[in-house]
Chain A
Amino acid sequence: MTARIGVVTFPGSLDDRDTQRAIRLAGAEPVALWHKDKDLKQVDAVVLPGGFSYGDYLRAGAISRFSPVMETVIEQAKAGLPVLGICNGFQVLTEAHLLPGGMLGNDHLHFICRDQKLRVENATTSWTSDYESGQEIHIPLKNMDGRYVADEYTLDKLEAEGRVAFRYLDFNPNGSLRDIAGITNEAGNVVGLMPHPEHAVEPLIGTGRTDGLPFFTSILKKLVNA
Chain B
Amino acid sequence: MSRTPLDTVEHAAATPDVELPWAELGLKKDEYERVVEILGRRPTGAELAMYSVMWSEHCSYKSSKVHLRQFGEKAPESDALLVGIGENAGVVDVGHGYAVTFKVESHNHPSYVEPYQGAATGVGGIVRDIIAMGARPVAVVDPLRFGAADHPDTKRVLPGVVAGIGGYGNCLGLPNIGGEVVFDSCYQGNPLVNAGAIGVMRHEDIHLAKASGAGNKVILYGARTGGDGIGGASILASETFDDAKPSKRPAVQVGDPFQEKLLIECTLEAFQEKLVVGIQDLGAAGLSCATSELASNGSGGMRVTLDDVPLRDSTLSPEEILMSESQERMCAVVEPEKVDRFLEICDKWDVIATVIGEVTDGDRLEIYWHGGKIVDVDPRTVAHDGPVYERPYARPSWQDELQADDANKLPRPSSADELKDQVLKLVASPNQASKSWITSQYDHFVQGNTVLAQPEDSGMIRVDEESGLGVAIATDGNGRYAKLDPYAGAQLALAEAYRNVATTGAKPLAVSDCLNFGSPEDPAVMWQFAEAVRGLADACQQLGTPVTGGNVSLYNQTGEVAIHPTPVVAVLGVIDDVARRTPVAFQEEGQLLYLLGDTREEFGGSAWSQVVHDHLGGLPPQVDLERERLLAEILISASRDGMIDSAHDLSDGGLIQAVVESALLGGKGARLVVPDGLDAFTFLLSESAGRAVVAVPRSEEVRFNDMCGARGLPVTRVGVVDGDSVEVQGEFTLTLEELRKAHEETIPALLA
At the interface, yes or no: A17 with Cβ under 8 Å from chain B? yes
Chain A's closest residue to B583 (CB) is A208
Cβ of B262 and Cβ of A114 under 8 Å apart?
A: no
Cβ of B257 and Cβ of A55 under 8 Å apart?
A: yes
Q: Which residues from B are CB-within-8-Å of A110?
A: 163, 166, 441
CB distance from A214 to the nearest CB of B (A): 17
Q: Scan B338-351; emit 1 where CB is below 8 A from any A CB, else 0.
A: 00000000000110
Count class of interface residues, chain B: 20 to 34
Max chain A C-beta neighbours (<10 A), residue from B163, B173, B350: B173
Give Cα A207–Cα B462 distance, bound, in whole angstroms. Answer: 14
B446 CB contact (under 8 Å) in A21, A142, A144: A142
B166 CB contact (under 8 Å) in A12, A55, A57, A111: A111
Q: Which residues from A are CB-within-8-Å of B166?
A: 110-111
Cβ of A142 and Cβ of B447 under 8 Å apart?
A: no
Cβ of A18 and Cβ of B446 under 8 Å apart?
A: yes
B258 CB contact (under 8 Å) in A18, A55, A114, A205: A55
B171 CB contact (under 8 Å) in A52, A204, A205: A52
Give Cα A205–Cα B443 distance, bound, in whole angstroms. Answer: 14
At the interface, yes or no: A138 with Cβ under 8 Å from chain B? no
Cβ of A11 and Cβ of B349 under 8 Å apart?
A: yes
B447 CB contact (under 8 Å) in A18, A140, A207: A18
Cβ of B257 and Cβ of A111 under 8 Å apart?
A: no
CB distance from B646 to the nearest CB of A (A): 14
At the interface, yes or no: B253 with Cβ under 8 Å from chain A? no
135-173 of chain B: CB within 8 A of chain A: 163, 166-167, 170-173
At the interface, yes or no: A95 with Cβ under 8 Å from chain B? no
At the interface, yes or no: B440 with Cβ under 8 Å from chain A? yes
Q: Which residues from B are CB-within-8-Å of A196?
A: 445
Give Cα A140–Cα B173 distance, bound, in whole angstroms. Answer: 15
Cβ of A206 and Cβ of B444 under 8 Å apart?
A: yes
CB distance from B137 to the nearest CB of A (A): 12
Chain A's closest residue to B444 (CB) is A113
Q: Scan A43-77; emit 1 where CB is below 8 A from any B CB, else 0.
A: 00000001110111100000000000000000000
1-57 of chain A: CB within 8 A of chain B: 11-12, 14-15, 17-18, 21-22, 50-52, 54-57
- Report if A14-B446 is in contact (Cβ < 8 Å); known contacts: A52-B171, A110-B163: yes
Max chain B C-beta neighbours (<10 A), residue from A11, A22, A196, A207: A11
CB distance from A197 to the nearest CB of B (A): 11
Give Cα A15–Cα B171 distance, bound, in whole angstroms. Answer: 11
Cβ of B170 and Cβ of A111 under 8 Å apart?
A: yes
At the interface, yes or no: A112 with Cβ under 8 Å from chain B? yes
A199 CB contact (under 8 Å) in B349, B448, B465: B448
Cβ of A142 and Cβ of B257 under 8 Å apart?
A: no
Max chain A C-beta neighbours (<10 A), residue from B444, B465, B578: B444
Q: A21-B448, A111-B167, A199-B446 are in contact. List 11 more A-B contacts (CB 8 A).
A: A11-B350, A12-B262, A18-B448, A21-B465, A50-B446, A56-B258, A140-B445, A142-B446, A198-B448, A201-B448, A205-B451
Residue contacts A-B, CB under 8 angstroms, 9 given: A11-B262, A50-B446, A51-B173, A52-B170, A55-B259, A111-B441, A113-B439, A113-B444, A205-B451
